[in-house]
Amino acid sequence: MASVVFENVHKKFGDLTIIRSLDIEVQDKEFLVLVGPSGCGKTTALRLLAGLEEITGGEIKIGDRLVNDVAPKDRDIAMVFQSYALYPHLSVYDNMAFGLKLRKTPKEEIKRRVSEAADILGIQELLQRKPRQLSGGQRQRVAVGRAIVREPKVFLFDEPLSNLDAKLRVQMRAEISKLHQRLQTTFIYVTHDQTEAMTMATRIAVINKGDLQQLDTPQNLYDHPNNLFVAGFIGSPAMNFFPGKITKDGSKFFVDTQDFKVQIPSGATGPYKDMDGKNVVFGIRPENIHDPEFAPNNISGEKVSAKVDVTELMGNETLLYLVSGKNTFVGRVDPRSQLRVGNQAQFVFDMGKFHIFDAETELSIH
């Protein structure tokens, strides 16, 4: 087992900087997910760790060992790629055993490891099949099995579920989480899908344009985003944002968006006392916007008039796309809501769950 450390790691391709000063410490046996939009540098970071790319500067350690100049095969890692990369002419057994055979591992040891991995993944009955006889989910299990038999210190996953359909992705997410609990090994997992990140990770590293934005537990990222990017990236549907400014009236503080004004609860005004007239971005998540008929009684609610533009009835919830002046936003409301397209209502914002960001720096103010 091993920890992984990125220390001031940066990567350039010519004049193009892909990663800038990446500092991450992954604990032993942790499940860390690197998440961010396409092109943000998350896969490059994984490839640097695997030794498939050469770092421009900084240090990468696996355990106590500096691996900057260590060949990929000697880093004691195993990687699962987005493409299954199975040999079509070999059976499942031989695909899983291939790396061990190259290392001259004894036959009995190979048989033991392949059998154990097949048991863990539930693919014992597939061992004699060829990849073309397997479904996408079965192929992905074989690719994971090929990594398991290596018994590495660190597992690296590069968007392994991207080629699967939605239902199978949910199933495989659960299986990979169970696999981590069973193997008790360090997992580093790259995805652009924040739902995968939220459901699987011990901690999440949010990356954008080569920079680490925030590294924290899923719940802390969701509840306490450091900046506008993290707030908008984590959560689906995304957090609603409204440009506005802080205004003061006596001892009361408000956020004024011109189209509507909401009062900041008296117990939460501390950070804003010297900000009268400051430009900010007000944020609130869709689930904290309520149909007035079904708003909880115990919240600090502010009413905002808006018109329903689009409805999405999901069964267990209803998404309302709303318009208030020049602002458009989403409410995730009680499925019993009778509001329909064209209806006007006084929607209730739960002001116990608001976020405010500096309009210039985009950093959270709290």
- pLDDT: which is higher, 199 or 82: 199
Q: What pLDDT is attached to residue 168?
A: 81
**Residue of 87, 64, 69, 67 whose CA lies nearest to 77:** 67
Q: How confident is the model at residue 305 (pLDDT cuts 50, 70, 90)?
A: very high
Q: What pLDDT is attached to residue 318?
A: 94
The torsion defined by the Cα of 63, 66, 70 and 76, in degrees rounded to 10, comes to 0
The predicted model gives 319-337 an average pLDDT of 95
- Cα–Cα distances in Å, from 83 out to 228, 246, 326? 33, 50, 44
Rg (C-alpha) for the chain, rounded Å, is 25
Contact 2, 63 (CB under 8 A): yes
Average pLDDT of the chain to the nearest whole number: 92
Q: What is the pLDDT of residues 165-181, one digit of tens each?
A: 888 888 888 888 988 99
Amino acid in the structure at residue 60: I
In whole angstroms, give the CA distance from residue 15 to residue 28. 35
Please name the residues in contact with 67: beta carbons below 8 A apart, sequence gap of 6 or more.
Answer: 51, 60, 61, 75
Six-digit token string for 323: 């318009």
Q: How many CB atoms lie within 10 A of CB 358?
A: 16
Q: What pLDDT is attached to residue 363?
A: 96
Q: What pLDDT is attached to residue 274?
A: 87
Q: What is the pLDDT of residues 108-162, one digit of tens each?
A: 999 999 998 898 888 889 899 999 998 888 888 898 888 888 888 999 999 888 8
Angle at 156 between CA 196 and CA 25, to 5 degrees: 85
Q: What is the pLDDT of residues 61-92, one digit of tens each?
A: 999 899 999 999 889 899 888 887 888 999 99
Q: Kind and range of the H or E element at 262?
A: strand 261-263
Q: What is the pLDDT of residues 276-291, one digit of tens each?
A: 999 999 999 999 999 9
Sign of the Cα pseudo-torsion (37, 39, 40, 44, in order): positive
Percent of the chain scoring above 70 in pLDDT: 100
- pTM beyond 0.75: the answer is yes
Domains detected in the chain: 4-233 (3.40.50.300), 240-358 (2.40.50.140)
Q: Residue 97 in 3-state DSSP?
A: helix
The predicted model gives 43-65 an average pLDDT of 94
- Cα–Cα distances in Å, from 248 out to 30, 60, 273, 319? 46, 50, 9, 33
Q: How confident is the model at residue 1 (pLDDT cuts 50, 70, 90)?
A: low
Does position 219 have pLDDT exceeding 80, yes or no?
yes
